[in-house]
Amino acid sequence: MENDVKKRTLGTSGLEVSALGLGCMGLSYHRSATLDRNEAIALVREAVDLGVTFFDTAQTYGPFTNEELVGDALAPVRDQVAVATKFGEVDLSGAPVLSSRPELIRQTTDASLARLGVETIDLLYQHRVDPDVPIEEVAGAVKDLIAQGKVAHFGLSEAGAQTIRRAHAVQRVTAVQSEYSLWWRRPENEVLPVCEELGIGFVPYSPLGRGFLTGAIDEHTTFDSADNRNALPRFTVEARKANQALVDRLRTIGERKGATPAQLALAWLLGQAAWIVPIPGTTKVQRLQENLRAASLELTSDDLAEIDRAESEVLIVGDRYPAELEQKTDR
């Protein structure tokens, strides 16, 4: 594959990145077949060679080890890529805590800078909204970090429309990252319209439904004991059996376009707006190559409408998260 992944700008911020980024979480955290460190570094560098310039990590992945991995992998090309990381789910020791206290933001950002081996974090997200800290204080803390040159752009993850507006009034929000795919379309209700209105980019995570929309997972798939999909209602055997109907429809449409279900699902996301940049993750070079070809797959308005119709005809079974986790994510 040639090094020619198209570029996109996240909203009106001026942050230009490849049309598809790489979500790095699964390289070392929350998934079954995590790679050894050298293999993971090789995959990240292969992504760079293929034209990816946008890489996503977080303090809580590990905790901390994923940031170190991404920092080491990208060290030789640091001036050619943009790296996003996230605060707010762990304290300085790595213990889980939902906290966006300004002092903790400052401390953990300094630690992230060291682990990533950079002077400036390209995009710093609040990982989850903290109900105990006004979003204005969070945005103000990041605004100070931007003034100090430690951060270039501010982002929010899984934030609601009003939270986005309030944050943006204090410090420009460059990107909102939330789950969005053909089987999780809730952002269309309120979040995508406010992003369009305010000139904010949108970064879908799990754009392939945590792997399900690739067609490589079915009711017979077994996951490693460390894989978090074991605990997700949408990945019970019964749910997978029912949800296979969506993948079957994508496969049928894709065959006419010379595209895999994964490529169709990614191209559909890219077709929703020019400021959307999905970040599929993978541990396999062949999947990386397959995903990136979606950036050059042209879907007509008729194609997009056909995919919408196919999705609307399938009742997706199972919630994306257990109820207690959904409460934490969707404020």
Digit-coded pLDDT (tens) for 274-293? 999 999 999 999 999 999 99
Which is nearest to 233 in space by CA: 282, 184, 160? 184
Which residue type is seen at 39? E
Digit-coded pLDDT (tens) for 137-180? 999 999 999 999 999 999 999 999 999 999 999 999 999 999 99
Question: For every residue of 277-320, which 3-state class applies, written as one string?
Answer: CCCCCCCCHHHHHHHHHHHHCCCCHHHHHHHHHHHHCCCCCCCC
Q: Retrieve residue 226's tokens.
A: 């460390």
Q: Is residue 141 part of a domain?
A: yes
Question: What are the phi and psi torsion angles at 183 (to 5°)?
Answer: -115, 15
Percent of the chain predicted with pLDDT > 70: 97
In this structure, are residues 54 and 81 in contact, taking their beta carbons and an 8 Å threshold? yes
Q: Is residue 1 part of a domain?
A: no
In this structure, are residues 204 and 279 in contact, taking their beta carbons and an 8 Å threshold? yes
Q: Is residue 199 part of a domain?
A: yes
Which residue type is seen at 159? A
Burial state string for 254-283 with b = 16 or more CB within 10 A and e = fewer than 16? beeeebbbbbbbbbbbbbbeebbbbbbbbb
Q: pLDDT category, 33, cuts 50, 70, 90? A: low
DSSP 181-241: BTTB-GGGTTHHHHHHHHT-EEEEESTTTTTGGGT---TT----TT-GGGG-GGGSHHHHH
Contacts for 114 with CB less than 8 Å, ≥ 6 apart: none
Helix (H, G, I), strand (E, B) or coil at 69: helix
Residues taking part in catalysis? 61
Digit-coded pLDDT (tens) for 312-327? 999 999 999 999 888 7
| Distance (Å, whole) CA 329 – CA 317 | 20
Per-residue pLDDT at 18 exceeds 70: yes
Q: pLDDT category, 331, cuts 50, 70, 90? A: low
Burial state string for 44-61 with b = 16 or more CB within 10 A and e = fewer than 16? bebbbebbbbbbbbbbbb
pLDDT at 32: 63
Host domain of residue 159: 7-329
Contacts for 306 with CB less than 8 Å, ≥ 6 apart: 253
Q: Is residue 254 part of a domain?
A: yes
Q: Is residue 173 part of a domain?
A: yes
Question: What are the phi and psi torsion angles at 274 (to 5°)?
Answer: -75, -10
Percent of the chain predicted with pLDDT > 90: 92
Per-residue pLDDT at 2 exceeds 60: no
Q: Is residue 285 part of a domain?
A: yes
pLDDT at 328: 72
Per-residue pLDDT at 112 exceeds 90: yes
Digit-coded pLDDT (tens) for 223-271? 988 888 999 999 999 999 999 999 999 999 999 999 999 999 999 999 9
In this structure, are residues 54 and 17 in contact, taking their beta carbons and an 8 Å threshold? yes
pLDDT at 1: 47
Q: Is residue 2 part of a domain?
A: no
Per-residue pLDDT at 120 exceeds 60: yes
- What is the average pLDDT across 121-132? 98
Q: Retrieve residue 270's tokens.
A: 């890219």
Q: Is the pTM of this model over 0.95?
A: yes
| Distance (Å, whole) CA 76 – CA 45 | 9
Tally Cβ neighbours within 10 Å of residue 305.
11
CATH of the domain at 285: 3.20.20.100
* Average confidence score pLDDT of the chain: 96
Q: Give the single-character DSSP code of 35.
A: P
Q: pLDDT category, 329, cuts 50, 70, 90? A: low
Digit-coded pLDDT (tens) for 79-91? 999 999 999 999 9
Question: 65-74 vs 102-116: helix axis angle to the nearest 10?
Answer: 40
| Distance (Å, whole) CA 135 – CA 160 | 11
pLDDT at 31: 76
Contacts for 19 with CB less than 8 Å, ≥ 6 apart: 5, 6, 7, 8, 270, 277, 295
- What is the average pLDDT across 13-28? 96
pLDDT at 30: 81
- What is the average pLDDT across 21-34? 86
Beta strands in 10-146 (DSSP E): 16-18, 22-23, 54-56, 82-87, 121-126
Tally the domains of the chain.
1
